[in-house]
Structure 1
Amino acid sequence: MKIVRIETFLVPPRWLFLRVETDDGVVGWGEPIVEGRAETVATAIDELSGLLIGADPRPIEDHWQVLAKGGFYRGGPVLSSALAGIDQALWDIKGRYLGVPVHELLGGPVRDKARVYRWIGGASGAELAEAGLRAVAEGYDAVKYNATEQLRHIDSPAVVRGVVERLTALREAVGWGVDIAVDLHGRFSVAMARRVLPLLEPLLPMFVEEPVLPEFSRDLAPVAAGTAVPLAVGERLYSRWDFRDVLPTGIAVAQPDLCHAGGISEVRRIAAMAEAHDVALAPHCPLGPIALAASLQIDFATPNFLIQEQSLGIHAPEDNDLLAYLADPGCFRFAEGHVARPTGPGLGIEIDEAAVRRAAADGHRWRNQIWRHRDGSFAEW
């Protein structure tokens, strides 16, 4: 078996899909993407493809080592994301070749179903409460929302109270039987995190995500020590070496992204490192169907898995959603806040290749917003 073709597809709303074909007709799919830098990642894959064309796809670990380290310069979001998509596709090929799901190749399943949460939005407490009740009516028992828009380094008491009041309204609406995750999106300074997080403790959030920017990871220890709220970090960490210094700081949840952090191979290692620090795994995944499928393969083989992010309903109704590129959308049927263990070979999904090629004919040029404070200075998005 040899790799004969590698293709990438820019597909709406903001994704990049990867197709790897072998000479005996086995095809694997991956989702390498840095949101807003899809074209750059596609170029990186094209540069790496010379190491793969004509090679046997099955020695995945050897390919991972060469792709990650063979260019001398290594790491960072672009290279790690390109590697992640390739790694996903190679695991997909191997599972299909052997006729088993990837999680069987990782030691077999440790659970029958995986818990998922639903993103909700709302600018006010009332809007959040309404969205939370809709999610509960859909069967979810866990939701996540963005805590606030842009913040100054140390913001006003009114802003602080607004953060607390929105979570209070949501908690009062959905009750204590629903878990609530709060995404700070790196918008808090260390000082703001230490001020606000203790005020959220009575509302018992499941976790607070990315309380500070990744470049301030060394300051997570005092943040964690100053609050009983569980901290979750990792969507902008790209390797086990990035997590090495973060895991001992007192965080509760590691959130590597299967599309950014070196794929299935590397996230499997990060999960094991996290387990040794009594840290749970909750893969970051506001992305497409291949990303979710890869994440679920990890979830079902990982003892310290907590909950899975997924993007159903996160995009505007007019945009292509999580199910648009699947031949059988039923593989992501959520019931009572869980998804069943995938049993199909490889990543466990069938991509509608014709739909992908049609969408790629239009492509996309998605970019994140640029925010500014009232004084005109840059604000974290």
Structure 2
Amino acid sequence: MKITEIETFLVPPRWCFLRIATDEGITGWGEPILEGRAHTVAAAVDEFADYLVGQDPLRIEDHWQVLTKGGFYRHGPVLSSAVAGVDQALWDIAGKSLGVPVHQLLGGAVRDRARMYAHIAVERGDLAEQAARQVEAGFTAVKVSPAPSSRLLGTPAAIRRIADTVSGIRERVGDDVDVALDLHGRLSLADARRLLPLLEPLLPLFVEEPVVPELSGRLGQITSCTTIPVATGERLYSRWDFRPALDAGVAVVQPDLSHAGGISEVRRIAALAEMYDAALAPHCPLGPIALAASLQVAFAAPNFLIQEQVLFGGPYGRSTGLDYLLDTAVFACRDGCLARPTGPGLGIAVDEREVRRAAQAGHRWRTPQVRRDDGSPGEW
């Protein structure tokens, strides 16, 4: 079997899909997207095509090594995202060629259901009410970003306001529902250390990205000051990036299957995290292909905790992305969980006609630019 064609499709709302065709009629799909840099990643995939077309798609590890190291310059979010989409598509082809789901090729499933969480968003109004609605919809976990992009040292009122917001959510949903917090790197190291002890009585599932990824080596100063599990990883792109965070004591790693080198690298990150007694919670505010790839690893990884998704109860007020699938039954959400996919490859059937139609409109989504109250640039 040989690769004959590689195509990328920029589709609304902000995604990039990848199609790899072969001379045996087997097609693989991936999602090589870096939010706000879709055109750049698509260009990187186009460069990879010069090497990949004519190659055997089943030599997945060999291709991963060549694409990540053969260009001399390595890693970084753009190249890692391009590799991730290609890698997803190659695993999809491998599973389809053998008639088995990818998780079977990773050693087989270790669970029957994957728990997911739903987002609640400040811009959509009352957070406690949103959380209650998600619980009514069947979710047993929600996540919120309660901290605005603030000055390096916030006032006591600003710090307590974040804690009070989380307290209101906890009071509304009770202790049988997990509440995860995403600080999006918006706090300074000092403010994160001030805030987390105030949140401890509320027992969050985890606190995500308390500081920016550049400070991963100093996360130990945060993990040592709180009993709350600390999570990070959506802006880390390889097992080497995750090593300092794990050494610092993070409890949850959050690699993104569309950013961190795809299925091949994330399964290795999961194994590395297991050595540190850390859990896996894949980052995925993306489309159905990225979610399908995430789930293949989730079902095979013994240390999987919970899966992010925006296809159900999403925070963005937009199309869910399920329109890009021929059959949405694989993503039937029950009691906040998805059942183990049994279809070959990634377990989904992409509606190629709909993808091509949507790509005619395309998108030019860009990351919002955030300013602090003094006018200086802040974290989104």
Q: Flag whether TM exceeds 0.5 (same fold).
A: yes
Q: Which amino acid aligns with 1:16?
A: C
Match of 1:98 in 2: 98
Whole-Å Cα distance in 2 between the matches of residues 64 and 222 of structure 1?
35
Residues 1:267 and 2:275 aligned together: no
Q: How does 1:265-304 map to 2 (within 5 A)?
A: 265-304=264-303
Q: How does 1:213-228 map to 2 (within 5 A)?
A: 213-228=212-227
Pairwise CA distance, 1:322: 3.0
The alignment partner of 2:122 has SS state of coil
CA RMSD, 1 decimal? 1.1
Contact 1:285 1:292 in 2 (8 A): yes
Q: Which runs of 5+ in 2 are unaligned?
A: none
Contact 2:75 2:238 in 1 (8 A): yes
The alignment partner of 2:6 has SS state of strand
Match of 1:179 in 2: 178
Q: Which runs of 5+ in 1 are unaligned?
A: none
Cα deviation code 1:26-53 (max 9, x no counterpart): 0000000110000000000001111100
Whole-Å Cα distance in 1 between the matches of residues 267 and 316 of structure 2?
32
Residues 1:121 and 2:121 aligned together: yes
Match of 1:139 in 2: 138
Whole-Å Cα distance in 2 between the matches of residues 248 and 292 of structure 1?
28
Scaled by the length of structure 1, the TM-score of the pair is 0.98
- Paired residues in the alignment total 379
Whole-Å Cα distance in 1 between the matches of residues 270 and 4 of structure 2?
32
Pairwise CA distance, 1:368: 1.3
Q: How does 1:188-207 map to 2 (within 5 A)?
A: 188-207=187-206
Whole-Å Cα distance in 2 between the matches of residues 184 and 374 of structure 1?
17
Contact 1:315 1:321 in 2 (8 A): no
Match of 1:238 in 2: 237
More deviation in 92-101 or 238-247? 238-247
Pairwise CA distance, 1:329: 1.2
Cα deviation code 1:218-274 (max 9, x no counterpart): 110011000011100000000011011211111100000000000000000000000
Match of 2:340 in 1: 341
Pairwise CA distance, 1:89: 0.1
Whole-Å Cα distance in 1 between the matches of residues 53 and 361 of structure 2?
27
Whole-Å Cα distance in 1 between the matches of residues 292 and 140 of structure 2?
21
The alignment partner of 2:39 has SS state of helix
Q: How does 1:19-98 map to 2 (within 5 A)?
A: 19-98=19-98
Match of 2:149 in 1: 150
Match of 2:352 in 1: 353
Cα deviation code 1:67-93 (max 9, x no counterpart): 110000010000000000000000000
Scaled by the length of structure 2, the TM-score of the pair is 0.98
The alignment partner of 1:28 has SS state of strand
Whole-Å Cα distance in 1 between the matches of residues 299 and 32 of structure 2?
21
